[in-house]
Amino acid sequence: MEERELISRVLAGDPSAERALYDAHVDRVFRLAFRMAGDMDRAQDYTQETFIRAFSRLETFRGDAALSTWLGSIAISVTLNGLRKVRRLNEREVGLDDFTPAGHTRPEAEPDLKTRLNQAIDDLPEGYRAVFVMHDVEGYTHEEIGASLGVHPGTSKAQLFRARARLRQALADFAKD
């Protein structure tokens, strides 16, 4: 079924079309949410919230970009917003330090490249991390990232360049080997 027709049917209240739209996009949304959150519960929360928002605002989708890009913009917004809230609360509430923060679910391990890289990615500034995960990990194009984050594709490229530079710097001792 063509995307436009699917959207029309969802807007007309067809439950099977809603499910079809969900099925077509849920993997991509969930993967992005999980990559950013590093936690099953939060990834599920953010995916759920993304689709609830998408269904309630589908009539505002103008079709300028692909539906997947529009969904991606909602998903990254919901995810970053959720992670910010969790981070703010963690910063404020010393007593909640024992709660597991996003992206820190790994056990203490030998600091091999993978472990150090994961830590370095976690430590990237939010914008850099989003661009790096979307481009280098999930394979989004700079055009898609730009549309999702509301920035120019050139900005996305620049942020990716800086993110990689920071990772290279953080892993400098591996780079020498």
Q: How far apart are CA 87 and CA 10, in angstroms?
A: 36
Instruction: Please identify, using beta-carbon distances, which residue of 4 and 93 lies nearer to another protein.
Output: 93
User: Of the two residues 4 and 168, which places its CB atom closer to another protein in the complex?
Assistant: 168
Q: Least separation, in Å, of the C-beta of 108 and another protein? A: 15
User: Which pair of structure tokens corresponds to residue 104?
Assistant: 């820190």
CB 102 within 8 A of CB 45: no
- For another protein, give the closer residue by CB, 1 or 175: 175
CB of 1: closest distance to another protein in angstroms? Answer: 18
Closest separation in Å from C-beta 115 to another protein:
10
DSSP string for residues in 121-159: HHTS-HHHHHHHIIIIIT---HHHHHHHHTS-HHHHHHH
- Type of residue at 142: H
Q: Which residues of 58-78 are buried (b: 16+ CB within 10 A; e: fewer)?
A: beeeeeebebbbbbbbbbbbb
- As a whole number of angstroms, the distance between CA 76 and CA 30 comes to 11
Q: Which is nearer to another protein, 2 or 172 (CB)?
A: 172
The alpha carbon of 176 is separated from its chain's Cα centroid by a whole number of angstroms, namely 31
Closest approach of another protein to the CB of residue 161, in Å: 10
Query: C-beta of 159: minimal distance to another protein in Å?
Result: 12
Q: Is the CB of 22 or the CB of 162 nearer to another protein?
A: 22
